[in-house]
C-alpha cells in the first residue's frame, strides 16, 4: 500500500505530483529544484546555491516522513550545464554524509533551474547501517 506525502513547508507548484510517496520500506521523493520554499524564487544563480537549496527541500520532505538525508540510498540528478558538474559534486559531497547514496547524474535543459534532484530513501535504516 502506498501513501502520498504532502509537505506544507516544501516548495508548492501547480503541477500534478506528490512531494513523495511512501511504499512499504521506501520513500520516493519527487524531483526538487533549488528554490526557496516560500517564495519559489531561485536560491541563487550558482550551481552550489541551487544544489544546497534543492537538497534542503528534499530534507524537508524526508523530515515529514520521519527520515533524514542519511536514509537516502539512491539519487538522480539533472544538471543544466556540464561545466557545473564540479560545483555540483563539491556541494553534494558537503551535504551528504559518507557512504554516499548510489547516484545517476545527467545533463539536461532545465530552463532557469541549474539542478533537479529526486531521491529514494530506505526507511528502516540509514546508509551506514545497511549491511
Q: 2-122 architecture in CATH?
A: 2-Layer Sandwich (3.30)
Work out the angle at residue 114's Cα, subtended by the Cα atoms of residues 8 and 18, and round it to the nearest 5 degrees: 30
The pLDDT of 57-82, averaged and rounded, is 97
Residue ranges of domains in the chain = 2-122
pLDDT of residue 127: 82
CA atoms within 13 A on the CB side of 63: 10
User: What Å distances lie between residue 106 and 34, 36, 65, 84, 96, CA to CA?
Assistant: 17, 23, 27, 11, 19
pLDDT of residue 131: 67
The pLDDT of 9-23, averaged and rounded, is 92
The pLDDT of 76-91, averaged and rounded, is 97
The pLDDT of 100-123, averaged and rounded, is 96
| 79: CB partners within 8 A, 6+ apart | 47, 85, 88, 105, 106, 107, 108, 114, 115
Amino acid at each position: 500500500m502506498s501513501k502520498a506525502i504532502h509537505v506544507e513547508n516544501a516548495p508548492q507548484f501547480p503541477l500534478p505530483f506528490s512531494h513523495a510517496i511512501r511504499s512499504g520500506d521506501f520513500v520516493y521523493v519527487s524531483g526538487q529544484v533549488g528554490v526557496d520554499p516560500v517564495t519559489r524564487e531561485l536560491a541563487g544563480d550558482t550551481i552550489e546555491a541551487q544544489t544546497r537549496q534543492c537538497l534542503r527541500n528534499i530534507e524537508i520532505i524526508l523530515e515529514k516522513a520521519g527520515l533524514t538525508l542519511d536514509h537516502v540510498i539512491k539519487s538522480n540528478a539533472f544538471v543544466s550545464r556540464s561545466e557545473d558538474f564540479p560545483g555540483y559534486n563539491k556541494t553534494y559531497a558537503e551535504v551528504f554524509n559518507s557512504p554516499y547514496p548510489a547516484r545517476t547524474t545527467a545533463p539536461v535543459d532545465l530552463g532557469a533551474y541549474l539542478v533537479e534532484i529526486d531521491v529514494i530513501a530506505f526507511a528502516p535504516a540509514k546508509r551506514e547501517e545497511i549491511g
